[in-house]
Amino acid sequence: MKAFFLRAKHWQLFLLGVAAPVYVFSGRRYLIPLAALAVISNLTWIWVTGSFLSALSDRTNTLGNRLFRVAIVSWALCVVLANAIFHPSLFGNLTIIRISDFAATLLFPSLIIAILCFPFALYFWCKSLLLAELRDSADLSEYLALIFLLGFFCVGVWNLQPRINRLYRQRIQGKAIYDTDLVSY
């Protein structure tokens, strides 16, 4: 799965993460699991590429990696719990009351953790990308531009995934990753 997200084309990720939820939200309620799968795939993409970028940059710390992973897992947990509350029939023969009550008690704490940690996860991902490309710290404007692109995935995937692909190809070929020709804005 890791290689899929690192080698995927931008249009594949767009179809997986954006087009599927649009189709689901057009009124076909039986495809709600497809929307949850799209959100989980977006979070998995952020996890895989963030971990890859963090491995490329020498200056990321262990606490940042842990907090990054906690943020992604808490958002994934929020998606599953929200589906358990609002669409309990997706979970089969389990009693609806038990699932809804259990999910409701877990949703609030995981949502608080996610709200507090996810902005850091976006910052960590962007910092790791800039460190992998530039091997130096960047200006605030570069961070904000990347956070915007990452936050609005439907637009950002067209710019971010080719950069990830380039870094992955460079890593596979064993070339120096911090060449100046890699940076394209």
Instruction: Please count the CA atoms within 13 angstroms of the CA of 99 that sit on its side-chain side.
Output: 17
pLDDT at 96: 52
| pLDDT tens-digit readout, 133-163 | 877 777 788 888 888 888 888 788 889 999 9
Q: What pLDDT is attached to residue 98? A: 61
Question: pLDDT digit string (tens) for 52-78?
Answer: 988 887 666 667 788 888 888 888 887
Inter-residue contact 31 to 105 (CB < 8 Å): no
DSSP string, 92-137: TTS-HHHHHHHHHHHHHHHHHHHHHHHHHHHHHHHHHHHHHHHSS-
Question: Would you place residue 176 in the very low, low, confident or very high pLDDT band (cuts 50, 70, 90)?
Answer: low
Q: Please state the pTM of the whole predicted model.
A: 0.75
Dig out the tokens for 9 from the structure. Answer: 């084309």
Instruction: Give the number of other Cβ atoms within 10 Å of residue 71's Cβ.
Output: 26
